[in-house]
Amino acid sequence: MAAKYFVLDTNVLLHNSDAITCFADNTVVLPMTVIEELDKFKKNNDELGRNARHVIRSLDRLRVQGSLGKGVPTSDGGVVWITMEKEGDGGACIDLNIPDNRIIATAYRLFREGKRVIFVSKDINARLKADALGIEVQDFEKEKADFDQLYTGWRSLKTSAATIDRFHHSKELLWDGEELQPNEFVLLVDAVNEKHTGIGRAVAGNLLKPLNPAYDSASNLRPRSMEQRLALELLMDPTVSLVSLIGQAGTGKTLLALAAGMANTLKSSRYEKLLVSRPVIPLGRDIGYLPGTKDEKMKLWMQPIFDNLAYLMGLTNGGKQDAAAELGINRLLREDRIELEALTYIRGRSISRQYVIIDEAQNLTPHEVKTIVSRAGEGTKMVLTGDPEQIDNPYLDASSNGLSYTVERLKGQEACGHITLTRSERSHLASLAAEYL
């Protein structure tokens, strides 16, 4: 089989700084325009800047081993090759004044030389251009999950009435059917009478245990659906160190996480602090510079969190979301029982004995999620919430975002649990919007 030449777009390297090592024994081609674009990003203080610097350092280490202009062999049998664009690469059909086009033109030149070229890009439009020239194209697939087949955290299984009765009586059941994931929930349904059911949680192999009645509510918030009850079971259980919640708007992801976090920090004192963070990525056109201190800026970005906290504080005050609820929230912030932090400042921290909620995690890359979760110290619980169908990051989709990737990669770990919420409970209007708009 002919050797493959993978021409990488800049956005692939910015998405995963180790991408040049992900193509086994094939040749990875980096057009000079990619190196120039990395140079522009390297000064940034965000994840893109860090990735750019990491790639540049990796290439510098390879440079010591040989000439990158001729191709340097890698440890896995592949080659990394930096190539200069040449006049006439794209023929008359490509405008080389556009950087993306110069990268595609390099792939086109190799393609016309008879090489098996594959253009790899996270930019759909760039892939369309390359495909129009007859070049094989693909997205960067290494850190992707199949969103349509994503693990939901629970399943429904048909069984006999006697089996369900035995489960209710003995408070456990060794399921002798298909293999279950740790912390996966099972809805046992009577094959004859569908109203005769039981809900169990896989705790050791295929051993099912009933739900813990102590987790029926949190901070005076009671679940409105079976899925919310299953989510609360994971959110309240201290033996589950990482919980991921996926669902459309209005399914209660953030509210449930905050309710469980407040119950575990303010009431039981199982954790010392509730830390809440979310990516600073705007919906639609950014409104620009925000004046004020860091806390004043964060209050605007964290307004959805304040809304949910006010609702929960209102539940403890007889259902009134009044000035007392706001005063209560401000007091907890002053006493440092609740901390609202930008993800920008979380790198390098070691977070111990805290209940950490990362909201809107679908806007994070897999590497960013890894960075955040690896901040967890002893006794810390991490909760990731989000909707992979509402992504504001231009280079992520429902399958490649960090939240979906985490769900798929950690589904077999005993310290992790996941629930996909499908039913909107915010209001009838919110449910209609989620379903039809």
User: If you write DSSP's letter for every residue of 117-153 in order, what string do you get?
Assistant: EEEE-S-HHHHHHHHHTT-EEE---TT---GGG---S
Residue pLDDT, tens place only, 115-168: 999 999 999 999 999 999 999 999 988 777 888 899 999 999 999 999 999 999
Res 144: pLDDT: 79
pTM for this model (two decimals) = 0.81
* pLDDT of amino acid 284: 43
Edge-to-edge strand ranges of the sheet holding 4-8: 72-73, 79-83, 27-31, 4-8, 116-120, 136-138
From first CA to last CA, the distance across the chain in angstroms is 48
Q: Which of the residues in the chain have pLDDT under 50?
A: 282-287
- pLDDT at residue 285, rounded to an integer: 46
Please give the biggest Cα pair distance in the chain: 79
> Are the C-beta atoms of 66 and 73 separated by less than 8 Å?
yes
Contacts of 58 (CB under 8 A, 6+ apart): 17, 18, 20, 21
Residue 91: what pLDDT? 59
In this prediction, residue 287 carries a pLDDT of: 47
